[in-house]
Structure 1
Amino acid sequence: MIKDFKAGIKVCQAVLVRVQKVGNSSNGGVFARGMLEDNSGRIAFICFDAVLVDKLRELEGPTAFMMGGNVDINKFNNDMTLQVVIQRLENLLPQDDISNLLPHGDFDVEAYKTKLANYIKAVRTPGLRMLLETIFSGATYERFVTNPAGMRMHHAYLGGLLQHSVDVTGLAVALAEQIEGVDKDLVIAGALLHDIGKIREISAEIGFPYTSEGRLLGHITMSCMMVQEAAAKLRLPSSRLEQLQHILLSHHGDNEKGSPVACSTREAFVVHYADEINAVMNQFDVHDGKSAWEFNRMLGRNILVDKL
């Protein structure tokens, strides 16, 4: 496991390879650098073997390999961090153990499935409840409860989409109960569905790569499309559908953060802030545990992940 790597040792294991740069070195050779990952953590790599560099150059995204090499001090950094000098890179075989490459969240999946079902049952507006029951069924439901909520930024593990969506709903309901004039049924529906498009945007395969459809359309657009398609088969009043779709389209808050429209209703603001706080709080749960303070890339700052 990457967390156990120490300077001076030789390693050989299945890893996820993310290439960051391929170029020419000062001595006329070539090099490739990037990150290696498994469930336990990530480490920088560098490779000078021309054949392997050509192989890495052709990668279109994060790819799993059986990797061999030496662990050494990263001479390009001043903080004495480690890196792997890759000397071997082979395609995975069916018999290779890749269990260390599929991150799992530390939560009770079955309990969250029950919470999801209970939130749907709590919706009293017939049209909205029927819409939720229609969408959260069959193949869509199976993908929803296994997909990650992100490639790397937050809830990037199997079942992450289920955990994130249910927890966002819990926060949104708590807010809705404290604010006058908020339609709780609309909040529940919007919170549960706000990221539903991620089942088509992000694959649950090794590395959680983005799909072609995801890159072209994005999960916000696809969430709205999925709701539109399901609603077309039901008798959901157009005004309710528009308000629900507004929540989905604005859940990032503002245009600058990727939302096609900015929040304009009470329910949209409630879901947006519930989504944002849940994504932020998840950053405190996914850290390497090496120190109390850790730089968080999503938040762009050092955060206190453990009590001093």
Structure 2
Amino acid sequence: MISDFKAGTKVCQAVLLRVQKIGNSSNGGVFARGLLEDNSGKMPFIVFEAGIVDKMRSMEGPKVMMVGGMVDINKFSNDMTLQLVLQRMEEIMPEDDITHLLPNGDFDHQEYENKLQKLIKGVMTPGIRLILENIFSGTLYDKFLINPAGMRLHHAYIGGLLQHSVDVAGIAQSLADRIGGVDKDLIVAGALLHDIGKIREISSDIGFPYTMEGRLLGHVSMSAVMVQEAAGKAKVTGPKLQQLLHIVLSHHGEQEKGSPVACATKESFIVHYADEIDAIMNQFSKNEGKNPWEYNKMLQRFLLHEA
């Protein structure tokens, strides 16, 4: 496992390999950099073997590979972190065990599924309840239970979308109770559905690659389409549906941050900030080193983790 790697260790194991940069070195050769991942953590790699670099040029997205090399201290890193100097790279064979490459979140899946069902049953507005029951059923529901909420940035593990959606709904409920004068059914439904399009945007396959549809349309617009489709099947129309769609379409807060429309209702602001809080808090579960201070790419700052 990557978390067990130490300087001087010779490595030969299956990993998820992400190529981040390919270039020319100062001595006229070539190099490639990237990340190796399994469900215990990740580690940078560097490779100078021209044949391997050529293979990496043809790779489209992350790929499971068998790699070999030596773990060494990254002398160009400020905190002297480890990296793998990669010397071999081969295709995975059918008999190779790759179960350690699917990241799992540290939460009780059954508990969160029970919370989800309780939230749905607590929605009393008939049309909104029908939309939720329509979406959270069948194969769509099965995918929702295992899909990540992100490729890498937040809740990027099996079941991450379930955990994130339920926690956003919980935070939003608390905000709604404190603020008052809001439609709690719309808030709960909007929180549970705000990222539902990620089922179609991000695959639950190893590496959580983006789908073609996901790259072309994005999860915000796909979430709105899925809600609209469910409303059509349930014959739900009117202002409540429009307000629910507004929450989904504006949950990034501003158009500059990827929302087709900016928040314009109390309910949409509540869901937006609940979403943001939960995504940020998830960053504190990611400390992969011994140093309590770790640079976070999503937030672009150092975060202090518990010792």
Return the TM-score normalized by structure 2.
Answer: 0.97
Name 2:11's counterpart in structure 1.
Answer: 11
Give the residue type in structure 2 aligned to 1:15: V
Q: CA deviation at 1:193?
A: 0.2
Equivalent positions of 1:180-259 (< 5 A) are: 180-259=180-259
Q: CA deviation at 1:77?
A: 3.2
Work out whether residues 71 and 85 of structure 2, in 8 Å CA contact, stay in contact via their aligned partners in 1.
Answer: yes
Identify which range, 195-204 or 234-243, moves more after superposition.
234-243
Aligned residues: 307
Cα distance in 1 between the residues matched to 2:78 and 2:152:
26
Q: CA deviation at 1:180?
A: 2.5
Cα distance in 1 between the residues matched to 2:69 and 2:304:
34
Cα distance in 2 between the residues matched to 1:231 and 1:37:
40
Task: Report the 3-state secondary structure (helix = DSSP H, G, I; strand = E; otherwise coil) of the residue aligned with 1:54.
Answer: helix
Q: CA deviation at 1:97?
A: 1.3
Cα distance in 1 between the residues matched to 2:233 and 2:250:
24
Q: CA deviation at 1:71?
A: 1.2
Name 1:107's counterpart in structure 2.
Answer: 107
Identity among equivalent positions (%) equals 67
Name 1:286's counterpart in structure 2.
Answer: 286
Name 2:96's counterpart in structure 1.
Answer: 96
Q: CA deviation at 1:289?
A: 4.7
Q: CA deviation at 1:235?
A: 2.7
Cα distance in 2 between the residues matched to 1:113 and 1:78:
42
Work out whether residues 72 and 83 of structure 1, in 8 Å CA contact, stay in contact via their aligned partners in 2.
Answer: yes
Cα deviation digits, residues 113-134 of structure 1 (max 9, x gap): 1111111100101111011000
Q: CA deviation at 1:166?
A: 0.3
Cα distance in 2 between the residues matched to 1:127 and 1:160:
27
Give the residue type in structure 2 aligned to 1:2: I
Q: CA deviation at 1:94?
A: 1.9
Cα deviation digits, residues 144-200 of structure 1 (max 9, x gap): 000000011111100000000000001111111222320011111100000000000
Cα distance in 1 between the residues matched to 2:10 and 2:180:
62
- How well do the aligned residues superpose, as a CA RMSD in angstroms? 1.2
Name 1:304's counterpart in structure 2.
Answer: 304
Cα deviation digits, residues 227-280 of structure 1 (max 9, x gap): 111111223232111100000010011112111111000100010011110111
Work out whether residues 39 and 103 of structure 1, in 8 Å CA contact, stay in contact via their aligned partners in 2.
Answer: yes
Q: CA deviation at 1:78?
A: 4.6
Cα deviation digits, residues 189-212 of structure 1 (max 9, x gap): 100000000000001111111111
Work out whether residues 35 and 44 of structure 1, in 8 Å CA contact, stay in contact via their aligned partners in 2.
Answer: yes
Task: Report the 3-state secondary structure (helix = DSSP H, G, I; strand = E; otherwise coil) of the residue aligned with 1:252.
Answer: coil
Work out whether residues 18 and 35 of structure 2, in 8 Å CA contact, stay in contact via their aligned partners in 1.
Answer: yes
Name 2:271's counterpart in structure 1.
Answer: 271
Return the TM-score normalized by structure 1.
Answer: 0.97
Work out whether residues 231 and 237 of structure 2, in 8 Å CA contact, stay in contact via their aligned partners in 1.
Answer: no
Cα distance in 1 between the residues matched to 2:228 and 2:9:
55
Equivalent positions of 1:12-161 (< 5 A) are: 12-161=12-161
Cα distance in 2 between the residues matched to 1:66 and 1:165:
35
Cα distance in 2 between the residues matched to 1:119 and 1:11:
47
Work out whether residues 23 and 32 of structure 1, in 8 Å CA contact, stay in contact via their aligned partners in 2.
Answer: yes
Cα distance in 2 between the residues matched to 1:176 and 1:23:
52
Cα distance in 1 between the residues matched to 2:231 and 2:78:
57
Cα distance in 1 between the residues matched to 2:139 and 2:119:
20
Cα deviation digits, residues 4-26 of structure 1 (max 9, x gap): 21222210111111111112222
Q: Return 5+ residue gaps in structure 2 as ranges.
A: none
Identify which range, 65-74 or 147-156, moves more after superposition.
65-74
Cα distance in 1 between the residues matched to 2:190 and 2:243:
9
Give the residue type in structure 2 aligned to 1:27: N
Work out whether residues 291 and 306 of structure 1, in 8 Å CA contact, stay in contact via their aligned partners in 2.
Answer: no
